[in-house]
Structures are given as C-alpha cells and as structure tokens.
Structure 1
Amino acid sequence: MLVFEFKAYGKSAQLIAVDDAIRTAKFIRNSCIRLWMDVQGIGKNDLQKYCAVLAANFPFASELNSMARQASAERAWSSISQFYDNCKKGIPGLKGYPQFHKNCRSVEYKTSGWKLADNRKSITFSDKKGIGRLKLKGTRDLHFYQVNQIKRVRLVKRADGVYVQFCIDVDRSENIEPTGNTVGLDVGLKEYYTDSNGAMTENPKFLRSGEKVLKRLGRRVSRRVKGSKNRGKARLILGKRHLKISRQRKDHAVKLARCVVQSNDLIAYEDLRIKNMVKNHCLAKSINDASWYQFRVWVEYFGKVFKRVTVAVNPQYSSQECSSCGEVVKKTLSTRTHVCLCGCVMDRDENAARIILSRGLGTVGHTGTFALAESWAREDSRVNLSKTDVSNTWGDETSTQSGETLIEQVMS
C-alpha cells in the first residue's frame, strides 16, 4: 500500500465544510466507543450497523458519506481490537484502553463519495457536506495508477492547510545488485548512529536548534487573550513551526534509512523500548528529538522494498560486552572509550555496533533466510548454487561467524 499526499486548495467555505466532515467523523467514532463501553459483547459488525442508526437520528451525521461513516467505525474497532490484543499479551497497565478523541484531524472515504478528475489535478467530494471540488498540488503523478487501485482517500488538516492522501493498493519493490556488506547500527544522542565500521553520523537535533524560536512563539500565545482571533493566529504560527520540525525529522530519517539499506545486504540494529527510555526525564527530550523509532520504521520499510535483511537484536549489555573477547566491561554513560584487558581499545559506540552486528549475524544464521540466499544466487551469475545447496548451507548446523560477511559464508 502506497500513500501519496497532495496539498488541497479551495475556498474558505469549502475548508469550513472539511472541518465539519472531520467533526462528524470524530462524533461517529466516539459514539461507537461509547456503545462498546455500555453494551457488552459488541463486535465489528454491530458498530457498522450502528452507523446507520446515528445517520437516522442525527441529520449532520447523515450528510457524511455512508462509507466514510463506516471508516470511522472501523477506526473505533481498531482501537478496541488493539486493546484486546494487549490484554491477551499480558501487557501491564491500562493496556491501551480505548479513549475518546478530542482533537481529530482527518476523515477517511473509501471507494465512494469522491471522484478524481481526468487530469488528476483535482478531486470532487459528492456527499452532502458541501466540500465540492478541491485543487491538488503535489510532486506525485497519479496517472501511473488506475482509479480502482485507490482504496482510501483521506482529508487531513494540518497547521498549514488541508491535505488529501490517496491510499493505493500496490506493492512496491525494487531490485538492486547485492553489495556483500553487513552493518550493525548503534544509535545514540551524541552521534545519531555509529556503525560497525566506525563511521559516525551527526545528530541534527532539530528540536534543540529550533527551541529558542518555539519558546518565543509560546510566550506570544500565552500573552494573547483566550478565545481571541490574535491568539488563534499565534497558535497557528506555533503549530507551523512544530510541523516544520516534524517534517525535518522525517526527511532526515527517510534519506538516512534509504542510504543505509541500499549500501548493505544486512542491517542489524537494537530492539529499543523507547516508551520505557523516555521515563528518564533527564534524557526524554533528547531521545524524542532523535526519533530513533521513526528511523527504525523506515529501515524496515526500505528493507522490504529493496529485499534486504533487517534484524532487531536484544540491546542488553551491548555497550558493556567486549567485541573482541566477549568479556563484560562495566562503563558509565560518561565513559566514551571501551578499554578491555584483552587489549581492545575503541570508541564505545563502535564496540556496541560490532556486538549488535555479531548478534544479528548469529540470529540470521540460525533462523535461516532462504529467500535472501536464493536471490543472491540468482542475481550473481558467477555463483552457481542450486536450491539444494542453499538449503544445506542455511541450516541450524552452520551460523554466520562474526568476522565474515553473510554472502561469503553462503558461498563457502
């Protein structure tokens, strides 16, 4: 599934209609959550039927497209099913109990209620909300895809305007030549990440660099009278600044993840629990500013696109264990150099990256990646491996050694 986003332009009355549609979608979702709380044994189909009841009782709900109402009910059921899954897994705490939405910023249409123009430059919403025709501006070209491939259309409101998202049912995959390289990544706050080869990437710290402007804009909002138009304008300017920082983080994560995945056949990284790490209030802002999880998500996505292996390993003792002899060397956060009795002296982040890579290679070697080995054998004309040879190589009897690359072990 691909999601293409376009900036939407329309008259002020049309933008007000978009706000009305978003509020209606929020009302339907919250009503479905309330029904689930009050009536025991409510299922997904019951929530779908309840949309028709809401449309009959509330005129503003009937103005929204029927499939858009069903999509709002599906959002409610998604939060409910996530709660059920967390209960089955035994996650402590509230387990993500469904909450009512206060600030909803999007409404989703399915295959009806909208029509895309022949030139793909505008879209018309035909329900009774009165949104009408919106002009689209973006860098993507929708001519490559058929209209029946567009399964969802979302109207998203942000600080700088309204956007239209197209969810296209297509699998993205690209074939590139194997590099024979493997890498382990150790993320940090001083450097964004350090790989097992010793290369370091600088941490951009977008929030820290723009914090001075954010504080000034925040003071400007607090000085305005609540409910006034000037306060609304000040909040809009502050929201645009936060939106810019979030886009900078995403752009940095996407470009960095794509470069890492294209340059290596296997990427090993730490399976971090960011939710637990931000409980340290001394480092919470810096951890959130680094946006490690977003980087991991894009690494895994590009790994599927380019058919690369991405492995999340246990981060326990990765900074303490010696990559040369395996002994545990206790260090504090202020100790930036790893010094072991075996004579190994290197940067602690590089040592941790090597440990992460060795764990990733060991995991892949034991679990087996038959598809990867087969694709390498097929793409490299110099290697003449049959399926039998590959299956014999990638078994439980052989694991990848820490000093060799994955492709060298397969060919040996």
Structure 2
Amino acid sequence: MSKRNRSRRRAAGFDDSASGRLSQYVTALGRNDRLDYWSANGFSDGTGTSEPIAFGGLSSTAYNRKLGQYVSAMDNHGTDVARLWLLGNDLDKAAPTGSIVLTDENGTPYNGETTDDEGLGVLPNGDFLLTSEGHPNAAEGEHEQPKIRIFGIDGRQKDELPVPELFDINCRGQAVHNKSLEALTVSPSGHEIVVGNEYALKNDSPSGKDIATTARRALVYRDDVKGAKGQWKLVKQVAFKAADVNMGITEFAAIGEDGFLVLERSWDQTHGYGIKLAYAHGIAAAPDVSDVASLSKSADSSFLPVTELADFGGKLTLGAQFKPNAQYMDANPLLDNFEDLVITHADDNGRLDLSLLTDNNFDTTETTRIVNVQIDRSVFVADPSNGDGQQHGATIQRPSGAGLGGSTVRLAHTGAAVTAVFMLAAVTLTSGLVLIAGRRLRISRE
C-alpha cells in the first residue's frame, strides 16, 4: 500500500545501537540495507533486456526449498510484469539472483494493472500461493474480487482458492479497495493456510459503513480435512483484534498449526510509520465466524487471544539514517513500510529468529530494508492439534543458511512440564517434514 507526500524534519535523541531489547520477548539483532542498492540502480536478470528491471516493492517473503532460495513477491508497479524476486539463501547476504514472471493459465503475464500481489506462501511441492488485493487501478465503486492464486514453480497459474463474497470490494462484499487480502502463511506441516484481511470489513464496524474498528478476519484453509492431500477447503473464518483501528495487518508467520505471528503497520502524515509485532493463537478451538454478520457486538470469546510482542516505535534505530532526499520529521528513521515477515532460524537452543522486510513502493525516499529480531519462545502456547484430531506440538521450521537442511522445534504439554522434541530435518518454513534424526529434552514450564 503506497504512502506519499510525507513531510519530515530531522529526528534527534535516538539510540543508534547496532542491537537492543525491544520488549521482554523480542530483541533486535540488527539492520541490513543491502537490497536498497538494487532499489536505486535496478537489476539485470540476464534475460537480454537492455535496461535494468526496476527492483523493489517487496510485499511478502518466503523460503522455497525446491529453489533453495528466499523468494519475495513484487507489489504492483505501473505496467511492469508481475514477478517474484529470488533473493538467495541467506537474507544477511541478500541480493537479487533472478526473478520468476507470474502468468495466468494461458501463459499471459500479469502486470501492475491486472494484479496487486501482497501475501506469499510456499507449499511443500514448491508451488507458490499469492494473494491479490484486487484491481490496482479500480475506479471508485468498481467491483473487485481479491484472489488467492496458486502458481507453479515456473510462475504459471495452476489454480485458485475460493474466497467468500463477503471479502469482495463493492457489490455485495464488505472489503475496501487496497485494504483487503494482504497477509498469508502456510503452516509447517503444509496442511493449513491462513490468509488475513489488512483492515476490517465494513460490516464489522459499529457503523457498518467504515473500517473504524480493531476487528480483523482471517480465512483458514486445510487440505487434509478428508485425509486427502491437495484438496484445499475453506474450513472457517477466525477473528482477532489489531492493536488499534489504524493498524493494518501486513503479514502472518505460522507458529505450528494453531497460531501465527502478526505484523501490523500504520501510517499517518504526522507520525509516519508505526510497526508492531504480535502473536495470535487458538485457531483449532476458535469459533467459526463465517456466519457472523457483524463482529461489532461479538464477545471477546469470539476472537483469538493476541499477545503484543514488540512496538518498533521507540528510540532504537539500529544506526538507520533518513535518506538525503527525504524531508525529515521527529520519527524513528528505522521505521519504514515493513510488509514482510519470515522465520529464518529456529534451533534446539531456544532460538527463533525473524526477518522483517520493507516494501519501498518504488519510491526513492523509502528504503528497502531488512531488520532481524529474535523472539523468546516461552511466549508461545502449545499447539493442541493440527486439525486431524491428534495431539501435536507448536512446530516452527526454518531453512538452513545453505537452503539444504533445517531444524524443527516442537513444544507439547506433558503434565506440569513442557516436553521439547528437537528434530533435525530437511525442511523449509512452508514445507513438510523429512525426519532424519531426533532427540528429546525436558524443559520445566514456568
């Protein structure tokens, strides 16, 4: 979602430390602006084009085990073809290595006037899931249908998931242009997809005519409802609350089958960007709100429990600077248009690392930036079920630095303690597990 015409003054009194504590749960590990070089200079992908391709607009990032690389969806940009950027196998050394052009079933490329790609996930077979908010240049009042499309690893569309009419824009839908399907994550097992609306549906606000409410809806899909893989079904809608009415939901990252991290972003002319990280859980036990006409009068029990993990709006800058061509304001120069959230590391020492990436809107005053943070895993609630009636732990997966291996950390309640099962696996953030070896440790629960 583009932000323009900002007025900024020089910020002062901020902490320029290379790392620091953001909250009791989250520590900032550092900042990486390597990708901003290509945002300024473009990228030549070796296809024989005479001019570099405009690089930027990183709307969502995921790891693809089949490719051995992180992949990032490009936001719409004029008539440029829609594509996925390949960023290498280590975000600390991120650089574009190529791209995948996205086409319809007939091989005709989508472009910035026909799709508005935002959320990205990877299925176990390497296929890509992408949400589109609708028609980028839709006229006021025009009917739009947000999409969840499935693309092969070659970029050609293979299928799409059903989206309820309630999430359409105008007509009978209640979503708002450029504020619809934005967040997407695939569970570690590869059997569950959760897709979130950026802002509220109009019918969920007290007035029924605007989006002035914290209520947010997410769509939950599963492919193993009847025991058959590949048969994606919309099984429920769940509700949760944003930090405030101005916070848009820009990305999810699955923590097992039953919970997910939530990246929230706000922007206004006076205060600039606000960025928060939260954790929502309880998908399996949550009521299905599909038939709830309005969430405005729903009890708290209708919403997923949410824990705020960190507010990035403090004084910690990680040494970030405003760009020389920007007009400054009294805001933290670290904050920009963060839209991406990807788990990069989880190991048997209790470590869970994330990277947050920015969509620079192809704007020279904004920075394509990566911020790395670490989360204390004690905040996560044990995963009661993956939806098949069996008990499972809260599973976290990550790719290795080389993209060839990984680790899974599974937490499951055992009486008054927590049993942690640590398994080395050839896995990715969004793929299924290939168990190689395992060992079990017992950790006391506070």
TM-score class, shorter-chain normalisation, is under 0.3
- Higher RCO by CA contacts (8 Å cutoff, separation 6 or greater): 2
Structure 2 length normalisation: TM-score?
0.22
> Computing the radius of gyration over CA atoms, which structure comes out larger, 1 or 2?
1
Q: Kindly indicate which of the two structures has a greater share of residues assigned to strand.
A: 2
Q: Kindly indicate which of the two structures has a greater share of residues assigned to helix.
A: 1
Structure 1 length normalisation: TM-score?
0.23
